[in-house]
Structure 1
Amino acid sequence: MASAPNSTLPVLYKDLVPLNSNDHLTWKGRTTDKAPWIASQHAIPLTVEEFPVAQRDYPIVFSSGERPVPLALMGLNEGVNVFFEEDGTPIGTPYVPAYVRRYPFLLAKLQQDSDNLSLCFDPSSGLVGDFEEGQPLFGEDKQPSEHCQALLQFCEKFEEAGNKTQLFMDELTKADLLMDGEISIQRRDKPDQPFTYRGFRMVNQEKLRELRGDQLRKWNENGLLPLIFAHLFSLDLMRMIFARQTEQGKGPIAAEMANVAAEAEAPKA
């Protein structure tokens, strides 16, 4: 359900091009109040700095695989997002993760043997181009515009938050606190046949209770313990996600109901 993407490009990005004044001097960046690029995404990467706000709207889980990352669940099944319409219009006022707000830009290494990061963008996004309208990315002097500098600063802050997130994940891994997750949700129509969701990781509460006092005190002082609790408390929201999927006619229960309806309409022999 929440596996890390098997791609050389980060999730959402279809292509990456370095932004430069030689090729993009007259290009502009568009702003939008819709995010169609996440309409079919059920899980979005999250930084630890976002846990306190994100846990109000989303279950926070961890991806499976060798290098787990925190994820905000926007749906319980692949391709299902209960917080955004198909055209990317938000349903209500959910918190929009920084990963989404950063798109279509990001900082990336152009040379693997160098630690230097360059501002790149996804040219397929439709948000960056040689448009008549939008915010200029460069001035006539070929220097980055204020808008471009603000984009760069946002991406730099995101990288810093990403480093803090990795330190948090390293602590969980060293303490062997992560376990394979499983959530069962009872159905009103068939209480003896609950829906069970797997494929993600979560903190093992039994192991958390067994940690030494000095370890817990250290995590409380450096702010890691509140992050763990934010994750654990947010898991109850999976039932809310399930309810929204049912209301919106998405997910396995919608498919099951469609099959039942089709069988009822089928001509009898």
Structure 2
Amino acid sequence: MNLPPMYRSLVALDRVQHRDLRFRQDLVSLEPAKGLNSMFLNAVEFADAVHDYPIVFVRAGQAQDGKPAPLMPLAVLGLKAGENLFIKDGKWDAEYAPAYLRRYPFAMARVEQDNQRVVSMDEQFEGFSKTEGQALFDDKGEPTEFAKSVLEFLDQYESEVERTRAVCEVLDSMDILEPMRFEATVDGGEKVEVDGFLAINEEKYAKLDDAKVLDLFRRGLLQLIECHRLSMRNMRRLAIKRLGA
């Protein structure tokens, strides 16, 4: 099983096996995210994320039927592999924290046997306890209000993942994204290069006909594209942030 970034293990939450399990919010740590220089971002998050992060696209997964691998949006967190510039003194140093981060240590995982998704958890998370914290199940083995709120958040998150996939398919079909590279020289003459991502080709974007632009507007995609374009200014801000890290 390929584990998503941040997660050290994933097990399905079971009302029998985990009946006495409790969750300590005060022990939630950003340690698992320290080595992440990017993080998945749902399209609905662009409007909030644009103030803090560069929003880029990458190809993830396997190509199928001769088509390129699907697109996926990411919030850039660092300019080098293993570098996260948004963790400072154990806290998230940005106005907005991606939903991917906020869902930890829970997630929806796919069960291969029936292709269904079930609520899962990173069992190595240090904040699970049998004596302290929020109970996940009541005395009858039914989910508590806290567990129900976790499920609601995860359901909403997965719905937005599906919408984001659809958004990326539309952008991909328009052929307006291209490989980009960011370069900066920081104090001491160190040269920083970031590549391997896709961004809007401004020339192709400007040449879209009016009907296509209107269609993007009506689908709500024009705003997403503009958020992406504006967010690219944050690459240079990351370089500045790196100096003060």
Is TM > 0.5 for Structure 1 vs Structure 2?
A: yes
Mapped partners of 2:29, 2:124: distance in 1? 16
Partner of 2:9 in structure 1?
A: 15
Amino acid at match of 1:31: Q
Q: CA deviation at 1:34?
A: 4.1
Partner of 1:174 in structure 2?
A: 173
Aligned residues of 2:54 and 2:76 also touching (Cα < 8 A): yes
Q: CA deviation at 1:10?
A: 1.3
User: Are 1:44 and 2:39 matched, yes or no?
Assistant: yes
- CA shift digits 1:84-134 (9 cap, x unpaired): 03x63223x43110000111111122234x34321111111223342x211
Q: TM-score, normalised by structure 1?
A: 0.82
- CA shift digits 1:144-175 (9 cap, x unpaired): 11110100000000001101100110001111
Mapped partners of 2:85, 2:227: distance in 1? 21
Partner of 2:86 in structure 1?
A: 83
Aligned residues of 1:104 and 1:122 also touching (Cα < 8 A): yes
Partner of 2:57 in structure 1?
A: 62
Q: TM-score, normalised by structure 2?
A: 0.90
Larger Rg: 1
Partner of 1:94 in structure 2?
A: 95
SS of aligned partner of 2:17: helix
The 1:133–1:187 alpha-carbon spacing in structure 2 relative to 1, beyond 3 Å, is closer
- CA shift digits 1:182-217 (9 cap, x unpaired): 112245665xx8533211111212111122211110
Amino acid at match of 2:218: E
Mapped partners of 2:117, 2:181: distance in 1? 38
Aligned residues of 1:57 and 1:237 also touching (Cα < 8 A): yes
Mapped partners of 1:67, 1:127: distance in 2? 35
Q: CA deviation at 1:35?
A: 1.9
Mapped partners of 1:231, 1:172: distance in 2? 12
Aligned residues of 2:49 and 2:75 also touching (Cα < 8 A): yes
Mapped partners of 2:12, 2:90: distance in 1? 26
1:75-224 equivalences under 5 Å are: 75-85=78-88, 88-91=90-93, 93-112=94-113, 114-130=114-130, 132-187=131-186, 190=189, 195-224=192-221
Aligned residues of 1:42 and 1:78 also touching (Cα < 8 A): yes
Amino acid at match of 1:102: R
SS of aligned partner of 1:20: coil
Amino acid at match of 2:244: E
Higher strand share: 2
SS of aligned partner of 1:183: strand
Identity of aligned residues (%): 29
User: Are 1:229 and 2:213 matched, yes or no?
Assistant: no
SS of aligned partner of 2:196: coil
Mapped partners of 1:13, 1:55: distance in 2? 26
Mapped partners of 1:109, 1:194: distance in 2? 42
